[in-house]
Amino acid sequence: MTVHSSSCLSLIFALLTKRFLHYIRNWKLLVAVLLLPLLLFLLACGLYLVKPTETESPSIILSPAMYGPGAYSFSK
């Protein structure tokens, strides 16, 4: 079955119209589907910009002794 571009565009327009009417009738749906994800995305972007100050930390020497007497090392 072949789908023509004009019928495909009319299907997309019908789907968008249907979604728009659902959002007008049910504002909770609009908040849950569009606004809540947008707000969470903006919050994540804002928190990404807040970075702690970078300070040079001293190097840590790792050894099995740090983890108690039952820790073993399998590499040299």
DSSP string, 12-73: HHHHHHHHHHHHHH-HHHHIIIIIHHHHHHHHHHHHHH--PPP-PPPP----GGGG-TT---
pLDDT at 69: 81
Domain boundaries, the chain: 1-47
- Rounded Cα–Cα distance for residues 56 and 26 (Å): 53
Task: Compute and round to an integer the Cα radius of gyration of the chain.
Answer: 28
- Percentage of the chain surpassing pLDDT 70? 91
pLDDT at 38: 94
Residues 6+ apart with CB under 8 A from 29: 22, 23
Report pLDDT digits (tens) over 18-51: 988 988 888 888 888 888 999 999 999 999 888 8
